Amino acid sequence: MTNSERSRFYAKIDQFWADLYEEEYALYDLYEVTDEEVEKIRIATECTGKIYFKTAHLLRNIPDEVLLEMGYPEETLPFLRMKTLEAESVIARFDFIAHNGGYKCIEMNADTPTFIKELFVVNEQICKEFDMKNPNAEMEELLKSNVRKSVAQSIFSPDAHIVFTAHEDNIEDYFTTLYIMQFVPGAKFTPLHQLQIQKGVGLFDEDGKRIDLLYRPTFPIENLIQDEDDAQNRIGLWLIELIESNLLTILNPPSAFLLQNKAVQAIIWGLHEERNAFFTSEEHEWIAEYFLPTYLENTPFIEKGLRYVKKPVYGREGDTVEIYAEDGQLIKEDIQKSYNHYTKVYQQFIEQPKTTFQSEKGVQTGELLVGSFLISGKPAAIGLRVGGMITNNLSYYLPIGMKRD
């Protein structure tokens, strides 16, 4: 591969970020997968999704003290109990590690997952370039129809004003948002900083028109609630109050934020360990097969002499993640600590498979993480990130393809 081949290829794809942070991000290379592997990932995604969605019903009905212990912000408790859509999340992504012939879920990105355009659009283009079959063929149609369905379920008038928003200066967030917006006829884009809010009245676009439905594909609720204006009014909480008062609808729905918290996996594992009747025997089999032991303390791993990962209940791109040895000694950490103030979860560590790949810097070796989308409860596009022991914002996107029959 030459750098010019990569540049030529990615220059043809409109509104895409082949480079991020002035570094190569999307690789001009392809990792071969089999039909069997793709099917295994899809089954893992569907089963894991069913477990998470079922757990949401339980979480909406447990005491406030338990939710607070799990690290949910106190200001969001009424918001967390809202059920506004049939699906608990419209666009969610699981992260899996291939392990012993199967796949283990390390987390669910239920509220504001990225990696969307890469898998639903770009992967098709690179498969054509390398004359391979795209495992994600026809998945864009699934995404489009479910985005439209969720919008239709969220508005109460054909004249509803639908606005998509993101940080306009973040190229990945901006182009991801524009990509999803194209599926919704009549929707408009307003940058986050141009939204206007009136406490108890409504949210308005830059033209002063009241918004009925706000789609914020990349703006997390845990960040939103921290927002203040120049007068130090807590406008983020005003927005949450508008949603609770049915003066505004949002997508992903509130239940997606309920499932975004990584402590949900500790709840699921705890119920599984005690063989709680909340889950059926088949669901317990799914948890044993696809989940990793996860707790709100590290004691179980210290007692059993197992390596473990410590991560914040809210966090992204490996930020604030730490890996510990069997004796509890820190062996690897991400240098960024943006999410240190959140409650932590502790999860059993498993090795990620390694692969070699072609980059502008030459042939490199990296560790693989599988991203698999769940669209309104249905398994969808899959893809790979490749990087270090902790997958972070400098990890590469590695396209995947299958041999043609």
Residue 2 pLDDT grade (very low, low, confident, very high; cuts 50, 70, 90): low
The whole-angstrom distance between residue 86's C-alpha and the CA centroid of its chain comes to 19
Average confidence (pLDDT) over 315-320: 86
Q: What is the pLDDT of residues 381-399, one digit of tens each?
A: 999 999 988 887 779 999 9
**Nearest CA-CA partner of 402 in 128, 129, 133:** 133
Residue 36 pLDDT grade (very low, low, confident, very high; cuts 50, 70, 90): very high
Q: What is the pLDDT of residues 47-79, one digit of tens each?
A: 999 999 999 999 999 999 999 999 999 999 999
The whole-angstrom distance between residue 210's C-alpha and the CA centroid of its chain comes to 29
Contact status, residue 359 vs residue 396, Cβ threshold 8 Å: yes
| CB contact set of 36 (below 8 Å; sequence gap of 6+) | none
Q: Exposure string (b/e) for 160-190, b if CB count within 10 Å is 16 or more?
A: bbbbbbbeeebebbbbbbebbbeebeebbbb
DSSP annotation of 153? H
pLDDT of residue 174: 98
Average confidence (pLDDT) over 169-196: 97
pLDDT of residue 392: 75
Q: What is the pLDDT of residues 78-110, one digit of tens each?
A: 999 999 999 999 999 999 999 999 999 999 999
Asked if pLDDT for residue 4 goes beyond 90, the answer is no
For the record, the structure tokens of 390 come out as 């902790």
How many other CB atoms sit within 10 Å of the CB of residue 31? 15
Asked if pLDDT for residue 150 goes beyond 60, the answer is yes
Place of tokens 């969605």: 53
* Helix 35-59 vs helix 281-290: crossing angle, to nearest 10: 120
Contact status, residue 220 vs residue 112, Cβ threshold 8 Å: yes
pLDDT of residue 1: 54
For the record, the structure tokens of 380 come out as 């969808």
Q: What is the pLDDT of residues 5-24, one digit of tens each?
A: 999 999 999 999 999 989 99
Q: How many DSSP H helices and E strands does the chain contain?
A: 14, 21
**Adjacent-strand bridge partners of 251:** 215
- pTM reported for the whole predicted model: 0.97
- State how far the Cα of 92 lies from the Cα of 77, in Å rounded to an integer: 21
Asked if pLDDT for residue 196 goes beyond 70, the answer is yes
pLDDT of residue 317: 83
Cα(first)–Cα(last) distance of the chain, in Å?
26
Average confidence (pLDDT) over 349-377: 97
Residue type (1 letter), 113: P
Question: In terms of C-beta density within 10 A (0-12 exposed, 13-18 middle, 19 or more buried), how is residue 211 classed?
Answer: buried
> In the predicted model, what is the mean pLDDT of the chain?
96
Question: In terms of C-beta density within 10 A (0-12 exposed, 13-18 middle, 19 or more buried), how is residue 196 classed?
Answer: middle
